[in-house]
Structure 1
């Protein structure tokens, strides 16, 4: 039978990758401490401060599938349930100063399911893409980040072309300590080039292309002239600024989560482990031939004159054994198996095995064995040219543990 066995080289690759990841985990405390110290030092050196956000008043808005959009006094827009996968288009007032980043705030409201900020029954949403235009031309976004994301649904996914991915805010395994879904949240979009203050309005398109009725329920858009590096880090640096002895358990968990996000070495190590595991998956193993005994051995009969079509059924089935001229098999005399035969072949008093072996070694060295017919030590074979030497070599071979060295 054939068994799938792992490729030893791939097993070693997985072991090495897991060892590297374990080493990173053991050094995590020291590496996180250095990261915290360096992050604070770099912020102080750059003089970075919180972004200066200014709300952009909505001038006009529409939804493609019947949702009712209403502008509220605070500049936010409230949506009433429309089609299952809505696309909102909002035209915003022209900025008074250049815009380096836009902020999308999703807000709670008593009119929304579970107070929102989404229109799903639990208040969640899945925003799959954000498009920004200015003066009729698309605006390139360099990166996106959020204050909270459902695991696997970060704001960075808003920038791809996959309608099945996007930003969502449910809380699950891997969420930051204290994270809440039914609370205000925000995503920051860092522009590749600033939008000039040229009097032209900004247009934002919000697409919901996965999960029916997972549309945003209330939102607002703000602008900032701040450099991208200053955005989205206020909470992180407020916690980093605390005396380590005074940090709460939630603060410590939050910093550990943020460090994991920033730890490129650990991400590479995890990717290496995943790749090694994938290589050991189905179809990547080596097939190895193995043998095993049947629960009930097949019956074997003497073949009359060697003809397999003429088994001697009258004489009855044969039992496992060796020719009577040789010493019998040890072990289980009733049902000897292949292991018993293997042990019998290397018995110290076996007359053939050591002699045949040393004769073949002699032949490899000298071109001709002490017995010229190396494959025939029977009645048709040649007599040894030096019988006593053959006996001595075979005895020496056995006494030295059958070593071929």
Structure 2
């Protein structure tokens, strides 16, 4: 776009003229070093270290203050091939660690500390950012360093802007190099000064706080105007820039925080704010930000622009706590849209800019100066803030990943972890096919090996489990053990054929289920003669169709389904249906969230058993009694037992009694005669129509129960009160209770809970 290129060129030419006059070389009038380092000035005006480097040192450079004052200093660290690492430093890799910069103004015999409130660098090493060089902390692991992501050094510069101009007298600049890394001192460097106001940063005064102010509700606290109270008492509080600070703030209460900002030139600064929970910001008494949000405090959650004119300004923050711990994090960013960072500025003023320089400048201009670019940047900041809020609110989970290097493994002497023997490599058992040479020795390689055509087990094991699901017993009875301790397959050729068919189908489980249930073997009658029972009691020869009791979860779901209570919603959180009292309490820890069981209400009582909350040390009794495993260990093959306790569950458990009475009401509403109603219910429970003898028995029982409940209304009412669902309206009380008994009888039939 020619118009866009012209607009950028004008901005660049205007700014280059300013930038080239911004910094002036400042040769120190005196250099004093604590450790005895010596320097000489070379032909370019840079200071060159003489002799070997010291482990640590502190340089004090005295600068005369010119008539137009000093607003900041710049330290240029210059690479030199004659230095040990070919970089700017005296260390073996050419690196430098500037631990701290301190400035003192000497005027008329007084010494005045000069605050450094802005810092930028052409490049900062990871974990050694330039901000650490003026944070007031001096330590072996603190400071600004020079290595890039490739571990290389080069020419580096750092600017340090003051909070106000230094006028008259002299300026002492103290450079402290106290890294734990030996001789990380400058080998060649230069000092420059500036008198331009653009170098100045925000001079942020100390923070104070007032409150807390308690309210009855969260809304009352958030909408309060405590900032306008005349009798506020302000006390000092230590809030470090960008650091989360905990506030002693109860729920539904406010805390006020304030500070003063002094600026020398008009600018738009940014307050980067994090709060727990809501926040309101005032600038010089005018509200500039309001965010009603429940969150944990993190740095830089809200970006609040502040239009600042030269002079002093008061910023007040109100933090409202909606519950739990409250905290705040605040810092100011004083970047100006016409003031590029140091790396971009260096590219702009270079006498012969490279293609990389021009690309860097154009990218920065489009992002920070071009109006449309600024809009995109603001939208990006808002998106990042939204993503951060979502990530903070979203639950986290652990994810497994391969190590970059394999951890060595050893044969342990007698199993003792501190007595490693010979080292061993990842591999598969020798009696199985080997890993291919091009497969990695990790989880991916293991998956490729398991799914390989020549693997003898994977397809057979899957097919056997599906067969077990439909027939009650696998072609290999020991579905959990295909090894030497397992049982030989009853039909090895059939197992092999199904395994190959399943593999060639593309591992299509749905097709495998269809193949089995449409086979002649599965569709045979389950009736058994005495000869069949004598020759093949377990039906391993497949002379008849499969017949076995349903699993615990299926029995419960079947009762809910025929009663019309089953909620067929998919997905969602675990639910807590009915359970006898005291089951959890006997094994739960007092402080645990599973110490006491409280049944839920509504649809949660009637969800599929798949969604039932499962406590492994105390599984649901109405499933445990039907041989559901406790899930303490993996169980591939369930046992099937028949005990009186199982029958008692079907007759007396609250879930099944409620299902029986709702099943009875469903039968009563389905027809107008008792015979038709019983036939309808029988077909729902069993899947076939009853014969004449079965109808007669059920009708006789129905008449007996009608007579009994007609004489004992309280017993009928008690029966119909079991469970959370209301009795069905429009059915006579005695009929309702009698049909509840009929529902219970049908749900207790062996044919109901048995497949085939």
Q: TM-score range by the shorter chain?
A: 0.5 to 0.7
Task: Report matched runs for 1:89-104 at 5 Å.
Answer: 89-95=60-66, 97-104=68-75
Structure 1 position 356 matched with structure 2 position 325: no
Equivalent residue, structure 2, for 1:63: 33
Structure 2 CA distance for aligned equivalents of residues 102 and 387 of structure 1:
97
2:23 to 53, 59, 81: 53
Deviations 1:83-138 (A, max 9, x none): 33322222234435322222211112233222221223221222122111121322
**Cα gap change, 1:253 to 1:104, in 2 (>3 Å):** closer
Structure 2 CA distance for aligned equivalents of residues 186 and 203 of structure 1:
19
Gaps of 5+ in 2: 200-337, 369-373, 399-478, 481-545, 565-655, 666-712, 723-731, 744-756
1:170 to 144, 147, 168: 147
Equivalent residue, structure 1, for 2:426: none
**Cα gap change, 1:145 to 1:104, in 2 (>3 Å):** same
Contact 1:106/1:185 (8 A) holds in 2: yes
Task: Report matched runs for 1:4-403 at 5 Å.
Answer: 48-79=18-49, 80-95=51-66, 97-135=68-106, 136-163=111-138, 164-172=141-149, 181-196=152-167, 198=168, 200-213=169-182, 214-228=184-198, 236=344, 251-252=358-359, 256=363, 263=377, 266=380, 269-270=383-384, 273-274=387-388, 276-277=390-391, 334=548, 336-348=550-562, 354-357=659-662, 371-374=716-719, 385-387=733-735
**Cα gap change, 1:62 to 1:346, in 2 (>3 Å):** same
Structure 2 CA distance for aligned equivalents of residues 223 and 143 of structure 1:
14
Q: SS where residue 65 of structure 1 aligns?
A: coil
Deviations 1:134-188 (A, max 9, x none): 2132212231112232344332332212334432221128xxxxxx954322222
Deviation at 1:352, TM superposition (A): 5.8
Deviation at 1:276, TM superposition (A): 5.0
Contact 2:76/2:189 (8 A) holds in 1: yes
Contact 1:105/1:219 (8 A) holds in 2: yes
Deviation at 1:44, TM superposition (A): 5.6
**Cα gap change, 1:266 to 1:388, in 2 (>3 Å):** closer
Contact 1:116/1:183 (8 A) holds in 2: yes
RMSD: 5.0
Q: Report the TM-score, using the length of structure 1 for normalisation.
A: 0.55
**Cα gap change, 1:275 to 1:356, in 2 (>3 Å):** same
Q: SS where residue 165 of structure 2 aligns?
A: strand
Contact 2:74/2:193 (8 A) holds in 1: yes
Structure 2 CA distance for aligned equivalents of residues 184 and 102 of structure 1:
17
Contact 1:370/1:386 (8 A) holds in 2: no
**Cα gap change, 1:337 to 1:112, in 2 (>3 Å):** same
Paired residues in the alignment total 293
Contact 2:344/2:364 (8 A) holds in 1: no
**Cα gap change, 1:194 to 1:108, in 2 (>3 Å):** same
Deviation at 1:267, TM superposition (A): 5.0
Structure 2 CA distance for aligned equivalents of residues 204 and 265 of structure 1:
41
Gaps of 5+ in 1: 1-32, 174-179, 242-246, 285-294, 297-331, 361-367, 378-383, 396-405
